[in-house]
């Protein structure tokens, strides 16, 4: 997945442009910047590649999620449905607004189960947030229909799936809003950065203001701008955006490499009786950032993760036991451990997740292994890896 593996002259050239002009900020300083507007340039490139009207670049993927929801008017006490298997950023972004993260089950797609989503919707629900974990997507059409029926927004967290598509549309562009992360380990990176994409011009205007203190960006005198509403500073710097300008130009090159490596690994495991692969919804194309498969039992999955590591096959993750990605280890959320008081709605409305039944999620995530697909491997390395993986797994099953 990581774009940093293939860092080169184009990234250096873009950053050098910014350093030469000395303008590290995305707004203002028009006379000094030598025509360089890297954040604007990257926003245009993302809108084009993702086939959307608007892109707002921000400081991180987590910020992008918060801003996307804020731009649509989500606030204290509103409920946001998200999966049990995700990254902690998902619920952080919700809590940042005083909204309530409502966890629901994932299925064999390793992301939101539509039936579980429908069951969780009530009058307080404002957003359904599928998280396209490890490069593949939820049943987006089913989720969209549920959202339309209940007048709820669909927000795609496509932070791990940039470049994948669903029914011909780039992931992130199918919902009302979509988010990407460009942190250091994502498919393309800015060092740190994120983006909100949408076809809704009001959401975009709100996101633009909200991520820069609520400034309305009218006129050329920054100090004279008005503030239609409160905001924060979630700006991206020109230095970070410059790296992204180079990297977005290489996205399709990276995706091709990922697909090649993924296919070699998948073919090697396909003939092993007892192994099955993550379900990809009809019409979906992964971005191939991970190869995710299921072992026959939880015990065998645990064993596989240990044995793969012993064989030197790094970056094969058993998320079920991982502190970052599965609800069972999120005691800070369950106990609402915070440095200060949270909004009262959060204490009143957050479900007691220690008592929740997420047996469907356990059934799938408990048997899942996801192997990161690296860009830097040579063809020989991938082939050797595929052979070793197949031997380790055959021996276990």
User: Which residues are part of the catalytic machinery?
Assistant: 186
CB of 122 to ligand PLP, least distance (A): 25
Residue nearest to ligand PLP (CB): 61
- Distance (Å, rounded) from C-alpha 47 to C-alpha 52? 5
State the nearest-atom distance from the C-beta of 164 to ligand PLP, in Å. 13
* Integer Rg of the chain from CA: 21
- Identity of the residue, 251 or 396, whose beta carbon is nearer to ligand PLP in the bound complex: 251
Nearer to ligand PLP, 140 or 268 (CB): 140
| CB proximity list for 388: less than 8 A, separation 6 or greater | 311, 312, 313
Closest to ligand PLP by CB, 27 vs 87, is 87
Measured distance CA(130)–CA(195) in Å, rounded: 16
* Token code pair at residue 174: 């199918």
The Cβ of residue 226 has, within 10 Å, a number of other Cβ atoms equal to 11
Provide the 8-state DSSP code for 300. H
**Structure token pair of residue 293:** 């498969």
- Coil, helix or strand for 273? coil
- CB-CB contact of 131 with 83 (8 Å): yes
Kindly state the helix (H) or strand (E) to which residue 277 belongs, with its residue range.
Answer: strand 276-277
What's the min distance (Å) between Cβ of 110 and ligand PLP? 12
Nearer to ligand PLP, 114 or 194 (CB): 194
Distance of closest approach, residue 383 Cβ to ligand PLP, in angstroms: 28
Per CB under 6 A, residues contacting ligand PLP are 60-62, 86-87, 89-90, 131, 157, 159-160, 181, 183, 194
In the bound state with ligand PLP, the residue whose beta carbon lies nearer, of 370 and 382, is 370
Whole-number Å distance between alpha carbons of 276 and 295: 7
Between 83 and 114, CB nearer to ligand PLP = 83
- Tell me the closest approach of the beta carbon of residue 329 to ligand PLP, in angstroms: 16
All residues at 6 or more sequence positions from 110 whose CB lies less than 8 Å from its CB, including other chains: 85, 133, 134, 136, 278, 292, 364, 365, 368
3-state secondary structure of 11: helix
Element (H, E) at 21: helix 9-21
Distance separating alpha carbons of residues 204 and 220, to the nearest angstrom: 20
- Distance, CA of 299 to CA of 196 (rounded, Å): 40
Closest to ligand PLP by CB, 86 vs 211, is: 86
Cβ atoms of 375 and 251 closer than 8 Å: no
Smallest separation, CB 60 to ligand PLP (Å): 3
Distances 21 to 10, 243, 253 between C-alpha atoms, Å: 17, 15, 30
Provide the minimum distance between the beta carbon of 159 and ligand PLP in the complex, in angstroms, as a whole number: 4
């Amino acid at each position: 997945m990581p774009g940093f593996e293939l860092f080169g002259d184009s990234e250096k050239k873009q950053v050098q442009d910014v350093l030469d002009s000395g303008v590290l900020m995305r707004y203002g300083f028009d006379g000094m910047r030598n025509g360089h507007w890297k954040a604007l340039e990257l926003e245009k490139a993302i809108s084009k590649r993702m086939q959307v009207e608007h892109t707002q670049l921000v400081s991180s993927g987590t910020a992008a999620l918060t801003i996307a929801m804020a731009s649509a008017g989500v606030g204290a006490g509103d409920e946001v449905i998200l999966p049990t298997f995700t990254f902690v950023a998902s619920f952080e972004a919700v809590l940042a607004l005083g909204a309530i993260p409502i966890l629901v089950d994932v299925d064999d797609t390793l992301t939101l189960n539509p039936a579980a989503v429908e069951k969780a919707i009530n009058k307080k629900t404002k957003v359904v947030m599928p998280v396209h974990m490890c490069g593949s997507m939820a049943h987006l059409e089913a989720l969209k229909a549920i959202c339309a029926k209940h007048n709820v927004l669909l927000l795609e967290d496509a932070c791990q799936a940039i470049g994948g598509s669903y029914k011909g549309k780039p992931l992130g562009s199918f919902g009302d809003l979509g988010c990407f992360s460009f942190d250091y380990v994502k498919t393309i990176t800015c060092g740190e950065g994120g983006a909100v994409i949408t076809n809704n011009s009001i959401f975009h205007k709100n996101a633009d203001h909200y991520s820069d203190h609520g400034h309305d960006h009218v006129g050329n005198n920054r100090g004279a701008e008005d503030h239609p509403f409160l905001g924060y500073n979630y700006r991206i710097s020109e230095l970070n955006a410059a790296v992204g300008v180079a990297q977005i130009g290489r996205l399709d090159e990276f995706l091709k490499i990922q697909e090649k490596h993924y296919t070699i690994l998948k073919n090697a495991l396909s003939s092993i009786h007892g192994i099955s692969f993550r379900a990809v919804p009809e019409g979906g194309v992964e971005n191939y950032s991970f190869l995710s498969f299921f072992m026959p039992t939880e015990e065998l999955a645990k064993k596989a993760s240990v044995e793969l590591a012993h064989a030197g096959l790094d970056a094969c993750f058993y998320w079920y036991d991982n502190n970052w990605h599965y609800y069972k280890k999120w005691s800070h959320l369950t106990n609402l451990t915070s440095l200060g008081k949270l909004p009262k709605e959060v204490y009143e409305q957050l479900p007691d997740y220690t008592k929740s039944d997420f047996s469907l999620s356990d059934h799938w995530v408990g048997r899942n292994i996801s192997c990161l697909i690296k860009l830097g491997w040579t063809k020989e390395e991938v082939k050797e890896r595929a052979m070793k993986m197949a031997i380790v797994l055959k021996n276990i099953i």
